[in-house]
Amino acid sequence: MSEPHTQSTQHPQQPQRTQRIQHTYPRVIETQPERTDLPLVVMPSVIESMIGPFTANLELLHDIARVRMYTDCVSDSDMILARSADADAVMVIGFHVPDAMLDRFCGFDGRAGHVRCFAFGGTGVASYINLQRTREHDVRVCNIVHYGDHAVAEHTFALIMELAREVGRLNTEVKNGDWTGADGYALHNKTLGLVGFGGIGRAVARIAQGFGMQVAVWNAHVDPSVARTFGVTLIDDMGDLMAASDIVSLHLPLLDSTRGIVTAAVLDRMRPGTLFINTARAEIIEPGALSARLSRGDIRAALDVFDHEPLPMDDPLRSVPGIILTPHVAWRNDEAYIGLTKQVVQSIASFFTGGTFNIAN
């Protein structure tokens, strides 16, 4: 396997600040290229920060599969198909697999396909691949679990803090000579309502309690003993949770049963002044319901996920006053990359050795 080369970029004018190391990678990283007897795994696109963690884990596929990893991030369907033309398995990082691409990979109109497994580098795989269609093709899809619970929880609170204290705006104003400042919004003694109480929701609850907040959770089959362990209050009706909360944060996975579960009627129960956070999936909200609720101008929101990504320039969310928008990065930090990349590679290894690790479909 080719070894990546690293280069450090220094900025003497800011010696007190930790600088990011700039890496130079070959265009393609391959393992065991001479082992044509082994199945081929292709990663046609990758986020640069993942390259190092991925290369550290590729040894898990030694004598199981050879790997061809392209070291840039692309989303063009034709390029992804061309790079993966002879792949037995594809690692899906940073791009969607629309039905037309899926059919090209897996066979259509009597033509044989070549891809037998997709390993998705995330948890919300249903947003990226049509799972029903993969079942029809008899192709395995794997996703990963709990790799970024703390990363997403921390980003959730970054969004909450930005709404509460407006640090980003104040930073810009001070640098521009404006010393006016702004009044903050206290978190202490406020009620945080969580819709979803898996690994991420539980991590968010612990952070909230550190701020002295009260935490309420929508009771979608949450075990009472778990609620007692985490010191949260269960509320049976989602609308009642919205009405009782000063801040609402969504942490449900996207499943057939959760798609559109946060309805316009539920959002209507939020009181004026409520802060609304979504770092889960946009599709768990009824289409159009959030934009309609925000258009009333009496609640503020911070969002990391959207119905269409990248967010179109003409999307009405862009024009909502005071809204905070981030580009689906809640899961992205150094710790999460380590867990994510290892699970993706383990999923591929499991598939080719007859295991059942992290099957999503």
Catalytic residues: 281, 309, 328
Q: Of 125, 128, 102, nearest to 113 (Cα)?
A: 102
Cβ proximity of 251 and 196 under 8 Å: yes
DSSP-assigned letter for residue 293: H
Q: How many beta carbons lie within 10 A of that of residue 47, not counting itself?
A: 15
Name the burial class of residue 74, with classes exposed (0-12), middle (13-18) and buried (19+) by CB atoms within 10 angstroms of its CB. Answer: middle
- The number of residues making up the chain comes to 361
Q: How many Å from the N-terminal Cα to the C-terminal Cα in the chain? A: 32
Q: Give the integer Cα–Cα distance in Å for 356 and 347.
A: 8
Q: Give the integer Cα–Cα distance in Å for 329 and 26.
A: 25
SS3 at position 340? helix
> What DSSP element (H or E) covers 2?
none
